[in-house]
Amino acid sequence: MTDAPPDRLASNPRSPYHDAAMLERGVGIRFNGEEKTNVEEYCVSEGWVRLPVGKSLDRRGNAMTMK
């Protein structure tokens, strides 16, 4: 494995960008100067992160997220 993080990574196993080995290794995200541990998905090249919004759930039981 390389030390460089992947360009895009998702914690949802149904996502095509999910990589269990990378998540086991531990990937930290620094967003607006704060370390975030509740990131659902991120993309470095496009410059966005997807975070859960409150405790609300969608109709499938997944956390509502905001990009």
Confidence (pTM) = 0.74
> What are the pLDDT digits (tens) for 10-23?
988 889 999 888 88
- The single residue listed with the structure tokens 């992947």 is 6
SS3 (DSSP) at 23: helix
- The distance from CA 9 to its chain's CA centroid, rounded to whole angstroms, is 6
> What are the pLDDT digits (tens) for 4-60?
778 899 988 889 999 888 888 877 778 788 888 888 888 989 988 888 888 888 898
Return the half-sphere exposure (C-beta side, CA atoms, 13 A cut-off) of residue 31: 17
